[in-house]
Structure 1
């Protein structure tokens, strides 16, 4: 069975990203406060800039990963909604000692993707790369792929598609999205944040920093995020177990991070041993007939 990857839209298409939530940080200490909590260099951002990042516990295990947006009057942290029940109280834990207010935001998270999207954004918003917009901010994720934050629904006159396709494109790109089931399981390097610019190794102390630094300088991380694709008919969900084929036997190999299914095929990301062979064969534990193979990552895993 030949693989059929997610079809990139033939024209600029909008996606309402209802699976995401936004956390808004305001107050004069917002940058300093967040700088001491997360893996990315918050102080290096200027309004209109964005970065990926991670929020760890004291042991360096992730409460969640996110995209951070820097706006003139606030910081907006965008993450999967399922994470916030545990992550938001942790983020607020030390806020009483700083001039910062941390609350969920009702801003709208949108995405636009499809052939010609770069030209559409240039014509409509005057941007060739990430920057501020009249209603908020736009971030260029890749060629013809953009994220938009808007204080109000911009009512774009573009065709609409289900957000599942946007997540499928992120899976192909090796971009991770932790869900609640993964909290406390992984250090940032296990979901490739270092390869995606989401970790600063020069910014100084933050929660979990010692573990993250040790993983880099002492090679303490033996797992990484991989993209797999193949056949599967049963529903696949975040946290499902993968098994690795060893001769005629199978053994536990890792957990599904994100998955996209269509017409009996599945594309997914999973955290697996770093030394996994390129020709390794996996299956879903709940579907013994499924077969999954590694796909090339679009970036290097070098630290």
Structure 2
């Protein structure tokens, strides 16, 4: 069965389906600290974290990967969320010494067997760190993001961008699209399990709702990985149905999907008590058949 698998050697992925928002200025960390779920103040140059940007009700405008450079902070998101998310991020910037614009550099991925050793030899780093012109971020073993304002002459074979995002799906890494904005609190995307939420940092937009979900057990949904077969193209926002006896009932929405030769891997937000052997299909493709896959990390509240 085709599945998103690591290439046999370090392979270059040109990442076009990513947007980078840059924050500069003396107040950049202080400003962002009051907007997002992660502890921005705790980051030193060369460090990175996942995080979320919420509305006052604790629902996500976006989730992101945050990179801390010497003179700026970079937020990596899906491009589709920017129309609504960016004005919210800029809303109070007039009161702070912060500039918010688009990062002029490029983003590529490198993945495949031996990539950790290749990165160490090429850039002299063993983990997430600054490199000349930008930053190298270790996503997982043998998989890295490179963000740079300088040209990257890497001399590696090229891979399909869809595989990169498929590997994120297998890793249980969420990517919110515009269709999901205002639907989920951060814990529904497992951001607490991915170290994307600080519960000690103090106030930020939506913080009370996020904290209540943790301390009062108010959240009953989580991100799951599913795999199986499908005939029709699958997109973010498509409805999933779960089998209950002889009937099917709506259960959640597709977050991200990877398809190849009729095989399908996807992430979806589902009830936390979903049985491990549950059967799923797509509402618009009744012939589809999907099963839960093990998450590569433990779910925590």
Q: TM-score with structure 1 length normalisation?
A: 0.98
1:155 is displaced (CA, Å) by 2.5
**Equivalent residue of 2:8, what SS?**
coil
1:76 is displaced (CA, Å) by 0.6
Instruction: Find 1:13's aligned residue among 7, 11, 14.
Output: 11
- Give the equivalent residue in structure 1 for 2:212: 214
Structure 1: distance between partners of 2:188 and 2:104:
31
Structure 1: distance between partners of 2:102 and 2:217:
37
**Equivalent residue of 1:291, what SS?**
strand
- Give the equivalent residue in structure 2 for 1:88: 86
- Give the equivalent residue in structure 2 for 1:43: 41
Structure 1: distance between partners of 2:119 and 2:294:
29
Where in structure 1 do 4 or more consecutive aligned residues deviate above 3 Å?
Answer: none
| Alignment length (residue pairs) | 301
- Give the equivalent residue in structure 1 for 2:131: 133
- Give the equivalent residue in structure 2 for 1:235: 233
Structure 2: distance between partners of 1:302 and 1:91:
28
1:302 is displaced (CA, Å) by 1.2
1:206 is displaced (CA, Å) by 0.2
- Give the equivalent residue in structure 2 for 1:113: 111
**Equivalent residue of 1:86, what SS?**
helix
Instruction: Find 1:143's aligned residue among 133, 141, 144.
Output: 141
1:156 is displaced (CA, Å) by 1.6
Structure 1: distance between partners of 2:43 and 2:217:
29
Gaps of 5+ in 1: none
* Corresponding position: 1:246 with 2:258: no
**Matched ranges for 1:1-303 at <5 A:** 3-303=1-301
**Equivalent residue of 2:31, what SS?**
helix
Structure 1: distance between partners of 2:201 and 2:129:
24
1:35 is displaced (CA, Å) by 0.1
Q: Over the residues paired in the alignment, what is the CA RMSD in angstroms?
A: 0.7
- Whether the 8 Å contact between 2:231 and 2:287 is mirrored in structure 1 is no
Structure 1: distance between partners of 2:217 and 2:153:
48
1:4-46 C-alpha deviation (Å, 9 max, x unpaired): 3212100000111110010110000000000000000000000
Structure 2: distance between partners of 1:7 and 1:243:
27
1:273 is displaced (CA, Å) by 0.5
**Equivalent residue of 1:175, what SS?**
coil
1:107 is displaced (CA, Å) by 1.3
Structure 1: distance between partners of 2:88 and 2:34:
13
1:152 is displaced (CA, Å) by 2.9
